[in-house]
Structure 1
Amino acid sequence: MGFLDIPGLGKAHYHEYGSGAKPLLAFHGYGMTGKQFHVLEESILKEYHVYGFDHFFHGESKLSGWTEAQIIAGMPKAMVKAYIEAWFKVHGRQRFSVMGYSIGANIALILLEEYPDLVDEVILMAPDGLSVYKGFDFLTNKPVGRLFFKTVTKSKWLAPRLIKALKKVGFIDESLFHIAYNEIDTEQKRQDVYYTLNLIRLLKPDTAKVAKLINQHHIKCRLIFGKSDNLFPMKAAVPFIQMLNQPEVHEVALGHWLVVKQLDEYLVNLP
């Protein structure tokens, strides 16, 4: 584990694990840390040495000098390059692969967009960023949605009631309900949700450009989806998948909560 001093951002904390030799920069989902992928020990971790980054407002990563207004305005997409440039300063400029789960896929894809000549493989699990997710777009980009989001995070009772309603109508399953509920049960946690989603709201990859670069540079692309995932299902990613020459696509018998031991076993037992 270690820290990267990223100019204009702060300290990004990362975890190191895996018995493989090839470097893999990994970005986790909401409410997790950079250690999230440690369960993939018989598949991904046998092949790669993982550098798993904590998102800001997660783990030990800390923004430095940012005002609330700056956070709500969002982190400029161009600043994502600062992650890899800081990593290069510590580990040397070299080829690498990227992996992202859920909201972490956005950063992985932007790094591929910026460094296609250095990326060997991209692994995306239940990925955000391949299509516009209307829920997040409403909460972070639409005036009414932004006001509603701010109101919900300031309220002690509204957020829990909203999460229960989403479960009742089947928008989230039982596992996601428990995760989401545990992330909004204190004022600090609700503020972290609000800050996180606003900070990353501008970090959207250009999917047409990404697909073209994957094809042009013959970058291996693994896409993994949960069959019962209501957040980022495979059907939403079909337009992106159809732009790729030779993607490796998997739809497994899981929900959005995808980075679990069952996925490791699935990947190990592939023909």
Structure 2
Amino acid sequence: MGFLDIKGLGKAHYHEYGMGNKPMLAFHGYGMTGRQFHVLENSVLQQYHLYGFDHFFHGESKLNGWTEQQILAGMPREMVKAYAEEWFKQFGRQRFSVMGYSIGANIALILVEEYAELIDEIILMAPDGLAVYKGFEILMHKPWGRYLFKKVTKSKWLAPALLKNLKNIRFIDDSLYTIAYNEIDTEQKRLDVYYTLNLIKLLKPDTNKVAELINKHNIKCRLVFGRHDNLFPKKAALPFIASLQNAEVHEVDMGHWLVTKQLDNYLVNLPQ
């Protein structure tokens, strides 16, 4: 474990694990920490030494001196580059790979934009960032959506009711409902959701540029989607997939909750 002291941002905490020698920077999904990928012990972790970062408002990562106004304005995407630059200061400038699950995929994709010539592989699981997700777009960028999000954050009953309705119309499955409910059952947890999604709202990769760089630099690209994922489904990412020359694309019989032993077993048993 360690920290990257990122000027103008704060201390980004990371976890180190994995049996491989090749470095990989990894970014988890909402409500988890940089340890999320430890379950991939027989697949990804056999090849890579992971540096799994805690998002801010998760784990031990802490913003330094940020006001609520700054948080709600969003973290400038240029600060993503500072993650890598500070990591280079600690471990030396070298080739590396990136991995992201759900909202963490945005950071992985931006790092490809910035460091394509140094990246060996990108692994994305149920990724945000490959298409515009209308729900987040409304909550983050539409005036009435921002107002609703703030009201839901302050209310003890609105958030649970909204989640229940999303489950009833099968927008989210039972497992995602349980996880999400456990993240909004206190005022502090709801506030963390509110701050997290606002902080990362500007971290949107240029997918056309990313695809061009992946092809140009022959970056190995693995994409994994859940067949029953209504949050970030494969169909939304089809234009991006079509623009890649040699992507390895998998659709597994799972929902959005992908980073599990089941996925580890799936990856281990892929034909060589």
What band does the TM-score fall into relative to the shorter chain?
Answer: over 0.9
**2:182 corresponds to which residue?**
182
3-state SS of the aligned residue for 2:166? helix
Mapped to 1, the partners of 2:189 and 2:122 lie a distance apart of 31
**1:196 corresponds to which residue?**
196
Mapped to 2, the partners of 1:178 and 1:76 lie a distance apart of 32
Letter in 2 for 1:115: Y
**2:169 corresponds to which residue?**
169
Mapped to 1, the partners of 2:183 and 2:240 lie a distance apart of 31
1:218 aligns with 2:232: no
Deviations 1:181-206 (A, max 9, x none): 00000000000000000000000000
1:4 aligns with 2:4: yes
Deviation of 1:66 (Å): 0.4
1:120-159 matches, within 5 Å, as 120-159=120-159
Deviation of 1:213 (Å): 0.2
**1:160 corresponds to which residue?**
160
Q: Which runs of 5+ in 1 are unaligned?
A: none
Q: TM-score, normalization: structure 2?
A: 0.99
Letter in 1 for 2:149: F
CA RMSD, 1 decimal? 0.4
Q: Which runs of 5+ in 2 are unaligned?
A: none
Deviations 1:18-64 (A, max 9, x none): 00000000000000000000000000000000000000000000000
**2:47 corresponds to which residue?**
47
Deviation of 1:154 (Å): 0.6
Mapped to 1, the partners of 2:156 and 2:234 lie a distance apart of 34
Mapped to 1, the partners of 2:240 and 2:64 lie a distance apart of 36
Deviation of 1:209 (Å): 0.2
Mapped to 1, the partners of 2:188 and 2:60 lie a distance apart of 15
Mapped to 2, the partners of 1:141 and 1:80 lie a distance apart of 21
Deviations 1:128-180 (A, max 9, x none): 00000000110011111000000100111111111111111111000000000
Mapped to 1, the partners of 2:215 and 2:76 lie a distance apart of 26
Deviation of 1:100 (Å): 0.1
**2:25 corresponds to which residue?**
25
Letter in 2 for 1:60: E
Q: TM-score, normalization: structure 1?
A: 1.00
Letter in 1 for 2:220: K
Deviations 1:105-129 (A, max 9, x none): 0000000100010000000000000
Mapped to 1, the partners of 2:74 and 2:159 lie a distance apart of 22
Give the number of aligned pairs: 271
Mapped to 1, the partners of 2:185 and 2:56 lie a distance apart of 19
**1:79 corresponds to which residue?**
79
Letter in 2 for 1:144: W
Mapped to 2, the partners of 1:184 and 1:56 lie a distance apart of 17
Letter in 1 for 2:189: K
Percent of paired sites with the same residue: 77
